[in-house]
Amino acid sequence: MTLSTLRLDELGRRVGGAGVAIRTGPFSFRVRSSISSVARGLALLYRDYPLLDNEAFVDFEVHIDRAAGLRRWLRPQVRFRFDGASPFEPLPVDHALPLLEWSMNWCISTQAHHYLTLHAAVIERDGRAAILPAPPGSGKSTLCAGLICRGWRLLSDELTLIDPVDLNVTALCRPVSLKNESLGVLREFEPTAVFSPTVFDTNKGAVSLMRVLAAHVARAGEKARPAWVVFPKYVRGSPPMLTPRPRASAMLELGRNAFNYMVLGRTGFEALAGVVGTSACFDFQYSRLEDAVASFDALAQGQPA
């Protein structure tokens, strides 16, 4: 049973009451919120995800609700709560849906230490994973979104989950977060893509979430083996340039992009070394998604960089 089996009014009642429980990859979440945009966002973006029983055990229970006090009426705000704590400052109430996504990422990156968790997008082709670590503004999510619209499978646009035992990458397969100019780029690149309403003036600018195709969600249980580590960078007007990167440099940069590398200690070091040791490492500069897709398709086919 998927979330789409619930009518919007029933979904809204559940979210506003005891909550609605869904599974995204290896994790289950119960989402509770009195804010109508959260229920609408779930209906739009998570329609194809497994719906769990009301009484089911979940890994994380996430509350997105209005902040108390005078601001509740004068300048309405929204707050994320987890285990009785509110780790973030309140945000304007229209930021509720992006806050839900950021909160879900926070839960995983701060609690799920049975994985080595990298701040990186990750996609799959023929059982092999391409890990795309990069700082904000590098075009990582834009590149990820373009590639999954052209035959690559989404594992995650934000968190790469690596099993330290076998080094396989586990899929989260949640909506892709896009911002600012990339929104227009993706809408033109893939007119059939479904986006949530754009939220303006967030700390990341204008933000919208792209729905993942049902076929990707259905394969969320399929893991992938790391094959490439590619550090992307959008440069306006640049031709596509895929340049080999030394493994030592790649490992240092991956360590900087790991949420729990220090927490895992030797286990994290060995997992990171294993990923880099079995992957081809590159820097990638691009400006047009069409060129980027061609470069990654050639990479998957084993053609020279």
- 134 and 96, same structural domain? no
- 178 and 98, same structural domain? no
Q: What is the overall mean pLDDT for the chain?
A: 94
Q: Give me the pLDDT at residue 296, please.
A: 97
Which residue segment(s) compose the domain that 76 sits in? 3-111
In a domain, 177, yes or no: yes
Q: Give me the pLDDT at residue 55, please.
A: 87
Q: Give pLDDT tens digits for 216-244.
A: 999 999 999 999 999 999 999 999 999 99
- 220 and 139, same structural domain? yes
Q: Give me the pLDDT at residue 54, please.
A: 85
CA distance 128 to 133: 16
In a domain, 197, yes or no: yes
In a domain, 305, yes or no: no
Q: What is the mean pLDDT of residues 87-104?
A: 94
Q: What is the mean pLDDT of residues 190-207?
A: 95
Distance from the Cα of residue 269 to its chain's centroid: 23
- 283 and 135, same structural domain? yes
Given a cut of 70, whether residue 152 has pLDDT beyond it is yes
Last residue of a domain, which of 111, 137, 163? 111
At 303, the pLDDT band (50, 70, 90 cuts) reads low
Name the residue type at position 151. G
- 60 and 142, same structural domain? no
Beta strands 128-133 and 169-170 are unpaired
- 120 and 85, same structural domain? no
Q: What is the mean pLDDT of residues 60-78?
A: 80
Q: Give me the pLDDT at residue 68, please.
A: 72
Q: Give pLDDT tens digits for 103-147.
A: 999 999 999 999 999 999 999 999 999 999 988 778 899 999 999
Q: What is the 3-state secondary structure (H, E, C) of the chain?
A: CEHHHCCHHHHHHHHHCCCEEEEECCEEEEEEECCHHHHHHHHHHCCCCEECCCCCCCCEEEEEEECCCHHHCCCCEEEEEECCECCCCCEEHHHHHHHHHHHHHHHHHHHCCCCEEEEEEEEEECCEEEEEECCCCCCHHHHHHHHHCCCCEEEECCEEEECCCCCCEECCCCCEEEECHHHHHHHHHCCCCCECCCEEEECCEEEEEECCCHHHHHCCCCCEEEEEEEEEEECCCCCCEEEECCHHHHHHHHHHCECCHHHHCHHHHHHHHHHHHCCEEEEEEECCHHHHHHHHHHHHCCCCC
Given a cut of 60, whether residue 304 has pLDDT beyond it is no
Q: Which two tokens stand for residue 157?
A: 């646009």
In a domain, 81, yes or no: yes
Q: How many domains does the chain have?
A: 2
Last residue of a domain, which of 95, 111, 127? 111
In a domain, 199, yes or no: yes
- 51 and 146, same structural domain? no
Q: Which two tokens stand for residue 55?
A: 């009484």
Last residue of a domain, which of 89, 111, 133? 111
Given a cut of 90, whether residue 203 has pLDDT beyond it is no
- 258 and 151, same structural domain? yes
Cβ atoms of 207 and 98 within 8 Å: the answer is yes
In a domain, 127, yes or no: yes
79 conformational bin, left if phi > 0, alpha if psi -120 to 50, beta if neither: beta
- 199 and 289, same structural domain? yes
Helix 36-45 to helix 8-16 angle (10° resolution) is 130
Beta strands 225-234 and 280-286 are parallel
How large a percentage of the chain has pLDDT more than 90?
90
Q: Give pLDDT tens digits for 17-34.
A: 999 999 999 999 999 999
- 273 and 154, same structural domain? yes
- 249 and 171, same structural domain? yes
Q: Give me the pLDDT at residue 198, please.
A: 97
> Between residues 287 and 302, which one has the greater pLDDT?
287
- 121 and 107, same structural domain? no
In a domain, 160, yes or no: yes
pTM of this structure = 0.95
